[in-house]
Structure 1
Amino acid sequence: MASKTLYFPNPRHLNQLYAGRAENLSYAEQALETKLTTREEWLKVEGSDAAIGRVEKLFEFLNQARAQGVAVHTPDFHRFVDLMAQGEDEQLAELFAAPLVITTQRKSIVPKTLGQKLYLQSLQHCPVVFGVGPAGTGKTYLAVAHAVSALLRNEVEKIILTRPAVEAGEALGFLPGDLREKILPYLRPLYDAMADMLSGDDVTKLTERGIIEIAPLAYMRGRTLSRAYVILDEAQNTTSEQMMMFLTRLGEGSRMIITGDTTQVDLPRSKGSGLLEVERILQGIEGIAFHQFSGADVVRHPIVQRIIAAYDRYKNPMNAETGSRV
């Protein structure tokens, strides 16, 4: 058994790389077939030459992530370890080869997965981008962050956030309050994302001035949206007609981001999802990008990835039989 000691200039930095949790080092030991011992500013690695090489690369990537502003949490550490164990170190190298940082008023945001980074690259280069995938992949959050950053740089004059107000098991008519109060639950996730990037006072002021507009999809009909960053969330609940209506609102100097999860359609069975058919219609058109997230891009609790994979196996038995992975 060979050994190598990795030294770090600051003990606090080393602690940050594995989220300060001894059980994370145990997780890496098991996944990478090695033994890890840490004291203050050093990490001793014992194992085969190949195992030591994997651990050394792992902590190089983690250190790059920390230097680029990523706060490494337990789910992130597990994700990095899993990629190294699967021999996917090229993905991590590509992820951190060139920093990609979204600057907002309250925080700087960096992609945590290769999928997120590729998505952000599409947002930078294409006026219309579709982000499709399971919950927890950051598709809406990153779109809102990119919109806020564009507004702060004066690239657009306003941000429009919209969702279809589809009744998922509850009837709007029986909810208390006026129309605004009835639709607020549908728009709350967008408010929450926005509040993470701008102060509450600024969100209120910009909303009152019409620079930030949050409204149901139905309010988009008949408008031309110019010099705006427009985000359509929960797009799986648009009908074909609504999707076409929305896309044709695009005006001069505007950008559109459409996000959704095709496994969570709440439309009546008699109505097809506009998100499910739009890729077949628009595939290959210049200026339009489709980005498909997978369970590997989930940045919530690690068990969320396993839940998504389990549902996929249940709904698509052929995937399980052929050994396909989410």
Structure 2
Amino acid sequence: MTETVGSSAWLRRVFEEEARDDLFAGHAPQEQPVLVLLGGQPAAGKTRAQHAILAEHVADDLVEITGDDLREYHPDFRRLATRAPFEMPAATAPVSGGLVKLALDHALERRYSVLLEGTFRDPGMVTGTATRFAEAGYRVEVVAVATPAPVSRLSAEMRSLGDGPNEPGRWTPPEAHETALAGSAGVLSALEALPHIARVRVFSREAQLFDNQRDAAGEWEKEPVAAHTLRHEQQRPLPPGTAAQWLKDHSSVYARAKRRPGYLGAQTVPTYARLQDDAAQMLRILSGRAMAPEFLLHEHQRRQLDLEHRLPSGTFPPRPPRDLGQPTTGERHGVDRRGPSLGR
């Protein structure tokens, strides 16, 4: 009988024959194992934090487990990523989730130290994993990566488009980014409240922003404000130079999206609507500065017209007004872009 992809039997076989060695070969069980939970919205830019964690925990011999990477064990991953990118996330989710579970079970049973990367979207799952490992005698640390919403949103789209036909992208559904953005601070707050979390850190893409550890009495050495630090950075306005570069990158991304047959449509409308509102924010930042805001505004308006032409009628908000001080398209249609709603 042929096993169904993603079934318990299929997952067990793939884990034992392929994934287990790929993940654990070269690593050794530890007498005092560590679990490091690394999280942030998709495309937050976890690389710097990941390097810092691995450098600091060399002696702990961390096994890196990343759910997104495990999607590639799906036998149809490359075809899905190249020819059916909008189907790929849902089709590969059972494989990714199932292999993560088996990998964590294997690590816990044999006491391997683990660096587990995720999006901090589900508080029950994340706190449950932390508690499970802590109760098994692991030291549990948390690292969150904080990135302004427009930056990660655009980076996710860059990643979705890939690097060409031989390097397919990995499409991120808009709701995956937005729900993680909205929920990550709450998950971090829940983790901060757990008595068995030994250390909490927050990184931006550029530097460490916050570091807190428990003292000998089990109390935090500093006020536990990791969640506040994360949310503040996610909502931070970009400086003018960065805003100008963001607009250039956005133009490049949109040009690539236009060249990709069938890419601009119902599946990508939410992302490009938000990116248009993000672009309006960047234009406000540049308004009144010697950074050619009128030229950039005209480009923004041309892009809006192009989107309206390409997408089905009524699926995209009307183009923004010329006055940079007026509300964005999303605000005029009931989408609040102020404050915490950047995480929606």
Instruction: Say yes or no: TM over 0.5.
Output: no
Name the structure where strand makes up a greater proportion of residues: 1
TM-score (norm 2): 0.30
Name the structure where helix makes up a greater proportion of residues: 2
TM-score (norm 1): 0.31
